[in-house]
Amino acid sequence: MSKAIAGFSKLAKDEKIEWIAKEYFANPEEAAALVRKYWNNDAELQKLHDEFIENTITNFYLPLGVAPNFVINGKEYILPMAVEESSVVAAAAKAAKFWAARGGFKATILGTEKIGQVHFMYTGDTTKLQAFFEAIKPKLISGTHELTRNMEKRGGGITDIELRDKTNILENYYQLHATFETVDSMGANFINSCLERFAKILKEEAAAYSGFTSDEEDIEVIMSILSNYVPGCVVRAEVNCPVEELTVEKDIDPEVFAKKFVTAIKIAEAEPFRAVTHNKGIMNGIDAVVVATGNDFRAVEAGVHAYASKSGSYSSLSHATIENGIFRFWIDVPLALGTVGGLTSLHPLVKFSLEMLGKPSAKELMQIVGVAGLAQNFAAVRSLTTTGIQQGHMKMHLMNILNQLKATDDEKLEAAKHFETNTVTHAAVADYIETLRKVNPTLIEKDFLQ
């Protein structure tokens, strides 16, 4: 039987919850109680969260952790990281501490250009279209002045508009390809507003243009939208030190480690199957800071992975070399971020995170986020080429396993001691807890005695 409902969005929050609980859960009272349990006790704060999106029924929490000891361009930071995956924060902090003792991270902005496009179809003579574009280009700029005025006061605005012939990939397909500087805002709304104005002017001017003499020369606008692929909005983060200073483990020769590390990076550069997981590890660090600072991690992810494929094959975002005894490790990553607008002025913990970072500009935030990705990558490749990734990861994952097994506080203490010297797997932890409960039943929770 269909569970479709008309007018759901018009229901009060409690009514939405009651309907969902009744229609989809075996125990409606328990389901509704769980949802309400995650409401914020501060009614005003809860109302703010309810209004972020549509059909809100509750809050879905992520841990907000911090990674200290980052030194970026000589300045000390503690990075906010909103992430659910075990070991991400610990790995970032470990890498930060390691490189702080070796001069810290260097970050450089390579560009801040954002892109938007008006996609349209045109069946006439391309030379006529080019002449038309050259004639109306000043009107495209002047016609958006009311939209760009405030951005221009801050040093931003439209930087260029091009006509691009894309008929080689799709018949009759052309673009207005526009570039923008949005200063400290991510700029999505600003760019999209400008593009829609371009489209309006394009259609109006085409209808009145004397150079178009037939119906075949009509322009049909398909859509106007920014691009999340921003190859001109890129930050470089890097570290370097003499090879002999790469003392990552007491029993591993620094030169051996450096060569193995560089080879691991070259594998990720050459092998797409490895590159995807390699870059996912980079995004562990990037996404965590992006989320904590109220930016759009989905846009960042899409743009980053497109950038990783710019050569025609998916490849590593990071690179490493050894030259004249110096180990160098760096990443170039496209990041369209903002520190004003959106959630940055609304979400209390976003404001908290930005203040903890020293209220950075968008450029400074790009540098911080790029460094977070490089730090995460260094920690992951360091583990992979030395002790293996599972040793550290599963140690951090131990608490999640214990919580799944409903371990008591005393059992958790015993397990932590035991697995200091034993390999952590889900089966090993389950077996240990079962054995512990047989040997010492006083550790068992009341629920397990019933």
CA–CA distances in Å: residue 331 to residues 183, 235, 299, 328: 23, 8, 19, 10
Q: Please list the helix, strand and coil fractions of the chain in percent, rounded to the nearest 5, in that order.
A: 50, 20, 30
Distance CA 133, CA 208 (A): 13
Question: Does residue 296 have an active-site annotation?
Answer: yes
Question: Does residue 85 have an active-site annotation?
Answer: yes
Catalytic pick among 18, 85, 125, 332: 85
CA–CA distances in Å: residue 7 to residues 50, 52, 248, 299: 18, 20, 60, 31
Catalytic pick among 203, 280, 305, 418: 280
With residue 99 as reference, give the H or E element that holds it: helix 88-100
Maximum Cα interatomic distance, the chain, rounded to a whole number of Å: 93
CA–CA distances in Å: residue 247 to residues 35, 320, 392: 49, 17, 18
The two tokens of residue 317 are 């975002």
Catalytic pick among 269, 296, 364, 411: 296
Question: What is the three-class DSSP state of 124?
Answer: coil
Torsion angle defined by CA atoms of residues 129, 130, 132 and 138, in that order, rounded to the nearest 10 degrees: 140
- Give me the active site residues, please: 85, 280, 296, 393
